[in-house]
Amino acid sequence: MSSAGAGGAGQVTRKIGMALNLDTIRATADRIAASHHLEVVELELQGAAKFRTLRVFIEKDAEGRAKLKAKAAEAGAEEDVTLPKGVPVETLSGVTHEDCAAFAQDFGTVLDIEDLMPGAEYTLEVSSPGLERKLRRPEDYKRFMGNLVKVQTFTAVNNNRNWQGRLTGFSDDILTLDLSAVKQKGKAKKAATASLIEIPLGNVEKAQLVAEF
């Protein structure tokens, strides 16, 4: 298996074996990531047959992110100042090419040994989640409080499924967006009857950060 750093990919070839179990693959990725002081932000499988791609997005764990903040402070930045320019320290994954390569090597080896990706060829891609990373867990919403986010819901809220605003609250699995933080357009502009909107987490189909510079 060959592997590359952030944004790179490794390739693995497997024969037909047991049925693919994405939950098991995700749990395995979490375990391997933890051994490298990393966390899996997201895992997705795309394509079919020999054109499958397994993408894994990783970041430093809480301890690693704390060290990243400390390093920024040592460089002369206050906690609420952004480094690099315009990018909040908290949103940086801290992941290096070496982190991606090491994780890809170990994860790919386990996928091979445990035959977790049966079938023909597939490509394993490991990278950082980027500045506009997706939000998936309740912890993500708590961590990125105060950031601009983009949300798509399963069912319409005020006759609109796509919202963008500043995340100002998350309690009892309900997120609150301040719509006045962004100029609303299209359906969102008509549906924004108030400056704040509440969306149950269970109604969130997709959510991600919006980079601010």
**What's residue 89's pLDDT?**
58
Residues 114 and 43 in one domain: yes
Residues 122 and 162 in one domain: no
Residues 93 and 190 in one domain: no
**What's residue 98's pLDDT?**
92
Please state, in angstroms and rounded to a whole number, the distance separating the CA atoms of residues 72 and 81: 9
22-35 helix and 97-113 helix, angle to the nearest 10 degrees: 130
Which residue ranges in the chain fall short of pLDDT 50? 1-18, 78-85
Phi, psi of 136 (to 5 degrees): -125, -45
Residues 23 and 73 in one domain: yes
Residues 21 and 115 in one domain: yes
- The boundaries of the domain holding residue 184 are 138-209
**What's residue 87's pLDDT?**
57
- Determine how β-strand 148-157 pairs with β-strand 121-127: unpaired
Residues 143 and 103 in one domain: no
Residues 107 and 169 in one domain: no
**DSSP assignment letter at 64:** H
Question: Of 76, 104, 127, which marks where a domain is finished?
Answer: 127
Sheet holding 8-13, edge to edge: 8-13, 121-127, 52-60, 38-46
Residues 68 and 167 in one domain: no
Among candidates 56, 157, 145, which has minimal Cα distance to 105? Answer: 56
Question: Of 106, 127, 148, which marks where a domain is finished?
Answer: 127
Residues 48 and 96 in one domain: yes
**What's residue 199's pLDDT?**
97
Residues 156 and 186 in one domain: yes
Residues 168 and 113 in one domain: no
CA 147, 68, 79: angle at the middle one, nearest 5? 55
Domains: count for the chain: 2
State pTM to two decimals.
0.76
**What's residue 192's pLDDT?**
86
pLDDT digits (tens, 9 = 90+) for 137-194: 999 999 999 999 999 999 999 999 999 999 999 999 999 999 999 998 888 888 888 8
Give me the CATH number covering residue 189. 2.30.30.180
**What's residue 213's pLDDT?**
72
